[in-house]
Amino acid sequence: MDDHGGGTAPGSARGFSFAGRDAELRALLGTVSGVRPAVVLVEGEAGIGKSRLVAEASRVLRERQLRVLAGACHPLREPLAYGPVIDALRRIGPWLPPVERLGASAGALAPLLPDLADALPPAPTELPPADTGSSSGGLQRFRVVSGVRTLLEAVAPAVLVVEDVHWADDATRELLLLLATDMPQDVALVLTYRAEDLPARRPVLGAPFRRPPGTGVVELRLGPLGEAELRTMAREGLGGEPAPELVRTLLERSGGLPLVIEEDLLALAGAPAGADPGVLRVPRSLGEVLAERRSRLGPDAAALVDVAAVLAVPAGEALFAAAAGLDEERTAAALQEAVASAVLRQTGPDAYGFAHALAQEAVYESLPGPVRTRVHRSVLGVLRTLEPPPLVQIAHHTRAAGDRAGWLLRAQEAADRAAAVGDHGTEAVLLEELVEQPDLAPEQLGRAARALAYAASVSTLSDAKAAALRRILRLPGLPATVRAAIRASLGAILIYQIGDLSGEEELVTALTEAGGSDPSATARLLALLALSETGRFTIAEQRAMVERGRALPLADDDHRSRSMLDLARLSLLSTAADPAVPAVLAALPRGGSDVPVLQHTATMICATVGRSIAVGHDARATAALAELRALVPLVRLPVLEFYLTSLQIVLDWQAGRWGEAERGLAAFRERYPQSRLGSGGLPAAVRGFSATVHGRTARAATLFDDVLAGGLHLHSLGAAAGRARLHLGRDDPGAAWRTLTDPLDFLTFLDRKEAWSHAWDLVPTAVETLLALDRTAEARELSERHAAAIEGRDAPGAVAEQHHCRGLLLTATDPHAATAAFDLAAAQWTGIGRPYRAALAAEHAARTDPDRTETRLADPIAVFERLGATSDAARCHRRLRDLGRQTTNPRGRTGYGNTLSPREQQIRDLLATGATNKDIAAALFLSTRTVENHVARVLTKLHTTRTDLHRTDGQHG
pLDDT per position as a tens digit, 150-171:
999 999 999 999 999 888 888 8
Q: What is the pLDDT of residue 720?
A: 95
Q: What is the pLDDT of residue 540?
A: 96
Q: What is the pLDDT of residue 957?
A: 41
Of 730, 683, 684, 719, nearest to 923 (Cα)?
A: 730
User: Cβ contacts of residue 154 below 8 Å, gap of 6+?
Assistant: 95, 96, 97, 101, 102, 103, 106
Percent of the chain's residues with pLDDT above 90: 39
Of 445, 533, 455, nearest to 483 (Cα)?
A: 445
Q: Is residue 671 within 8 Å of residue 648, measured between CB atoms? A: no
Query: If 0-12 CB within 10 Å is exposed, 13-18 middle and 19+ buried, where does residue 449 land?
Result: buried
The count of residues in the chain is 957
Half-sphere exposure of 687 (CA within 13 A, CB side): 29
At 343, give phi and psi (nearest 5°). Answer: -85, -45
- 457 vs 640, which has greater pLDDT? 640
- The pLDDT confidence band at residue 902, using thresholds 50, 70 and 90, is low
Q: What is the pLDDT of residue 270?
A: 67
Interstrand relation of 216-221 and 345-348 (parallel, antiparallel or unpaired): unpaired
- 81 vs 153, which has greater pLDDT? 153
Q: What is the pLDDT of residue 949?
A: 64
Dihedral sign computed on CA atoms, order 315, 318, 321, 322: negative
Q: How far apart are alpha carbons 532 and 538 in whole angstroms? A: 9
Q: What is the pLDDT of residue 312?
A: 87
How are the residues of the chain apportioned to helix, strand and coil, as percentages rounded to the nearest 5?
Answer: 65, 5, 30
Q: How far apart are alpha carbons 804 and 820 in whole angstroms? A: 10
pLDDT tens digits, 547-578: 999 999 999 988 889 999 999 999 999 999 99
Give yes or no for a cis peptide into 519 (omega within 30° of 0): no
- The pLDDT confidence band at residue 580, using thresholds 50, 70 and 90, is very high
Q: How far apart are alpha carbons 748 and 741 in whole angstroms? A: 8
Reduced to 3 states (helix: H, G, I; strand: E, B; else coil), residue 40 is strand
Reduced to 3 states (helix: H, G, I; strand: E, B; else coil), residue 117 is helix
- 482 vs 615, which has greater pLDDT? 615
DSSP 8-state assignment for residue 7 = P
Q: Is the pLDDT of residue 512 over 80?
A: yes
Strand (E) or helix (H) holding 187: strand 187-193
- Which of the given ranges, 443-457, 546-560, 871-885, 897-911, has the highest pLDDT on average? 546-560
Give yes or no for a cis peptide into 579 (omega within 30° of 0): no
Distances (CA, A) of 631 to 127, 547, 563: 81, 29, 17
Q: What is the pLDDT of residue 783?
A: 97
Mean predicted confidence (pLDDT) in 676-704: 83
Range scoring the smallest mean pLDDT among 13-17, 129-133, 261-265? 129-133
User: Cβ contacts of residue 693 below 8 Å, gap of 6+?
Assistant: 658, 836, 867, 868, 869, 870, 871, 872
Mean predicted confidence (pLDDT) in 620-649: 89
Q: What global pTM score does this model have?
A: 0.64
Distances (CA, A) of 561 to 420, 427, 482, 522, 569: 18, 21, 15, 9, 12
- Residue 567, amino acid: L
Q: What is the pLDDT of residue 460?
A: 60
Q: What is the pLDDT of residue 922?
A: 66
Q: Is the pLDDT of residue 16 over 70?
A: no
- 895 vs 154, which has greater pLDDT? 154
Q: How far apart are alpha carbons 576 and 792 in whole angstroms? A: 10
Mean predicted confidence (pLDDT) in 703-717: 89
Of 400, 408, 466, 450, nearest to 433 (Cα)?
A: 408
Q: Is residue 380 within 8 Å of residue 323, measured between CB atoms? A: no
Mean predicted confidence (pLDDT) in 518-545: 92
Q: Is the pLDDT of residue 953 over 60?
A: no
Torsion of CA 892, 894, 899, 901, to 10 degrees: 50
Mean predicted confidence (pLDDT) in 181-194: 91
Q: What is the pLDDT of residue 888?
A: 44
- Please name every residue paired with 487 in a beta bridge, in sequence order, or none if there are none: none
- The pLDDT confidence band at residue 77, using thresholds 50, 70 and 90, is low
Q: How far apart are alpha carbons 399 and 405 in whole angstroms? A: 8
- The pLDDT confidence band at residue 466, using thresholds 50, 70 and 90, is confident
CA 767 centroid distance within chain: 41
E strands, 785-843, are none
Q: How far apart are alpha carbons 232 and 20 in whole angstroms? A: 10
- Please name every residue paired with 161 in a beta bridge, in sequence order, or none if there are none: 70, 190
User: Cβ contacts of residue 406 below 8 Å, gap of 6+?
Assistant: 398
- The pLDDT confidence band at residue 134, using thresholds 50, 70 and 90, is very low
Q: What is the pLDDT of residue 782?
A: 97
Q: Is the pLDDT of residue 42 over 60?
A: yes
User: Cβ contacts of residue 654 below 8 Å, gap of 6+?
Assistant: 613, 618, 833, 834, 836, 837
- The pLDDT confidence band at residue 676, using thresholds 50, 70 and 90, is low
Of 259, 282, 249, nearest to 51 (Cα)?
A: 259
Half-sphere exposure of 5 (CA within 13 A, CB side): 12
Q: How far apart are alpha carbons 190 and 148 in whole angstroms? A: 15
Range scoring the smallest mean pLDDT among 111-120, 347-356, 463-472? 463-472
DSSP 8-state assignment for residue 211 = P
- The pLDDT confidence band at residue 277, using thresholds 50, 70 and 90, is low
- Residue 122, amino acid: P
Mean predicted confidence (pLDDT) in 390-406: 89
Q: How far apart are alpha carbons 844 and 838 in whole angstroms? A: 10
Q: Is the pLDDT of residue 13 over 50?
A: no
Mean predicted confidence (pLDDT) in 906-912: 72
Q: Is the pLDDT of residue 14 over 90?
A: no
Q: What is the pLDDT of residue 438?
A: 76
- Which of the given ranges, 42-56, 222-236, 458-472, has the highest pLDDT on average? 42-56
Mean predicted confidence (pLDDT) in 11-30: 72
Q: Is the pLDDT of residue 622 over 60?
A: yes
pLDDT tens digits, 603-614: 999 999 999 999
- Residue 511, amino acid: L
- 16 vs 349, which has greater pLDDT? 349
Strand (E) or helix (H) holding 932: helix 928-942
Q: Is the pLDDT of residue 697 over 90?
A: no
- Please name every residue paired with 713 in a beta bridge, in sequence order, or none if there are none: 534
Reduced to 3 states (helix: H, G, I; strand: E, B; else coil), residue 553 is coil
| Mean pLDDT score of the chain | 85
Range scoring the smallest mean pLDDT among 155-159, 249-253, 950-954? 950-954
Q: How far apart are alpha carbons 180 and 148 in whole angstroms? A: 12
Q: Is the pLDDT of residue 259 over 90?
A: no
Q: Is the pLDDT of residue 2 over 70?
A: no
- Residue 476, amino acid: P
- The pLDDT confidence band at residue 1, using thresholds 50, 70 and 90, is very low
Q: Is residue 685 within 8 Å of residue 722, measured between CB atoms? A: yes
DSSP 8-state assignment for residue 537 = S
Strand (E) or helix (H) holding 189: strand 187-193
Burial 881-918 (b: 16+ CB within 10 A, else e): eeeeeeeeeeeeeeebeeebbebbebbbbbbbbbbbbe
Q: Is residue 549 within 8 Å of residue 531, measured between CB atoms? A: no
Q: What is the pLDDT of residue 885?
A: 65
- The pLDDT confidence band at residue 75, using thresholds 50, 70 and 90, is confident
Q: What is the pLDDT of residue 468?
A: 75
Q: Is residue 516 within 8 Å of residue 523, measured between CB atoms? A: no
- 27 vs 944, which has greater pLDDT? 27
The overall longest dimension of the chain from CA atoms, in Å, is: 113
